[in-house]
């Protein structure tokens, strides 16, 4: 059973009172309302303020976890002093701008480029399909395409992926070509969460996401027991999810982040001055 996250109850507040508190946030559909074209999506100003307040709060670490490239996700949210896990875990940018790429992932870059060269011309004639080369992965957005054409697009991608030994995954109106092997938001949040100290006795973690790829993170975090707080953004309460809690939309995410910040201030975790 998934429970509503708002208003923030004592149980959730207690679980998120630890230090460090690691706040992991998906971007599209979680901080930014979904837009017709990925390039049009924006994080509202009030949401940026809420993320920024947490990012400078004492004992809090903010991590953006996106399917976008890490640089793109960082640009879009536009808040300093955050970690960014991009490309579903294939790349990470630290708060000082240093980029970390998994060596296994880097080895597949030439094959991903080759897949892009094969796929792009085959999609050129399909109206409404947006092809995006993210370096370590490829994204094919079909929100604006005629649904009748999507099976053809999928078949073309499946053929290329099989020929090159790559992997095809699906999200909201998006197909993605990725290297083989198990790197996803689940493995990424466990790796970074561990290195940030979220899973120590004193640490705490909350993860919020809205899509199928976020379910990997919910499952991974819940497999560690009832310490991390997992939240699915969904306009339907009945959406099947591995998350423990749900909120309705990105504006409720913002309300939660503001409330979380206020709760920590009240309980004596001061913000950094300035």
Positions that interact with Mg ion (CB under 5 A): 26, 28-29, 210-211
Instruction: Specify the residue, 211 or 216, whose C-beta has the smaller distance to Mg ion.
Output: 211
Are 142 and 170 in contact by the 8 Å Cβ rule? The answer is no
Among candidate residues 226, 231, 242, the one with its CA nearest the CA of residue 8: 231
Residue with smallest beta-carbon separation from Mg ion: 29
CA distance 233 to 254: 11
Burial track 3-15 (b if 16+ CB lie within 10 A, e otherwise): eebbebeeebeeb
From the CB of 210, what's the least distance to Mg ion, in Å?
4
Selecting among 10, 26, 40, 216, the annotated active-site residue is: 26
CA 169 → CA 13, 45, 140, 182, distances in Å?
A: 35, 32, 10, 12
From the CB of 38, what's the least distance to Mg ion, in Å?
11
CA atoms within 13 A on the CB side of 210: 23
CA atoms within 13 A on the CB side of 241: 29
CA distance 132 to 81: 27
CA distance 131 to 139: 6
The beta strands (E) that lie in 174-243 are given as 174-178, 204-209, 229-233
Instruction: Specify the residue, 22 or 27, whose C-beta has the smaller distance to Mg ion.
Output: 27
- Residues facing 168 on adjacent strands: 177
Instruction: Specify the residue, 47 or 160, whose C-beta has the smaller distance to Mg ion.
Output: 47
Instruction: Specify the residue, 91 or 210, whose C-beta has the smaller distance to Mg ion.
Output: 210
From the CB of 3, what's the least distance to Mg ion, in Å?
21
From the CB of 15, what's the least distance to Mg ion, in Å?
23
Tell me if residue 133 is catalytic: no
From the CB of 114, what's the least distance to Mg ion, in Å?
28
Catalytic site residues? 26
């Amino acid at each position: 059973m998934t429970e509503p996250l708002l208003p923030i109850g004592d149980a959730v507040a207690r679980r998120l009172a630890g230090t460090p508190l690691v706040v992991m946030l998906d971007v599209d559909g979680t901080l930014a309302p979904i837009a017709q074209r990925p390039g049009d999506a924006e994080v509202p100003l009030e949401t940026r303020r809420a993320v920024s307040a947490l990012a400078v709060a004492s004992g809090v670490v903010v991590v953006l976890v996106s399917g976008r490239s890490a640089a793109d996700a960082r640009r879009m949210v536009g808040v300093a002093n955050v970690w960014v896990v991009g490309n579903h875990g294939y790349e990470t940018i630290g708060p000082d701008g240093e980029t970390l790429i998994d060596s296994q992932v880097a080895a597949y870059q030439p094959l991903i480029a080759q897949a892009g060269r094969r796929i792009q011309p085959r999609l050129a004639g399909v109206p409404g399909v947006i092809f995006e080369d993210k370096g370590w992965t490829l994204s094919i957005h079909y929100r604006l395409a005629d649904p009748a054409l999507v099976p053809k697009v999928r078949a073309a991608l499946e053929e290329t992926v099989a020929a090159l030994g790559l992997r095809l995954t699906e999200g909201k109106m998006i197909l993605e070509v990725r290297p083989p092997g198990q790197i996803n938001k689940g493995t990424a949040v466990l790796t970074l969460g561990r290195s940030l100290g979220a899973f120590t006795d004193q640490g705490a973690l909350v993860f919020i996401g809205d899509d199928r790829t976020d379910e990997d993170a919910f499952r991974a975090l819940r497999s560690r027991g009832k310490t991390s707080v997992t939240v699915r953004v969904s306009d339907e309460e009945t959406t099947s999810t591995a998350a423990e809690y749900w909120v309705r939309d990105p504006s409720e995410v913002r309300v939660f982040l503001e409330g979380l910040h206020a709760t920590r201030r009240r309980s004596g975790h001061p913000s950094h001055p300035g």
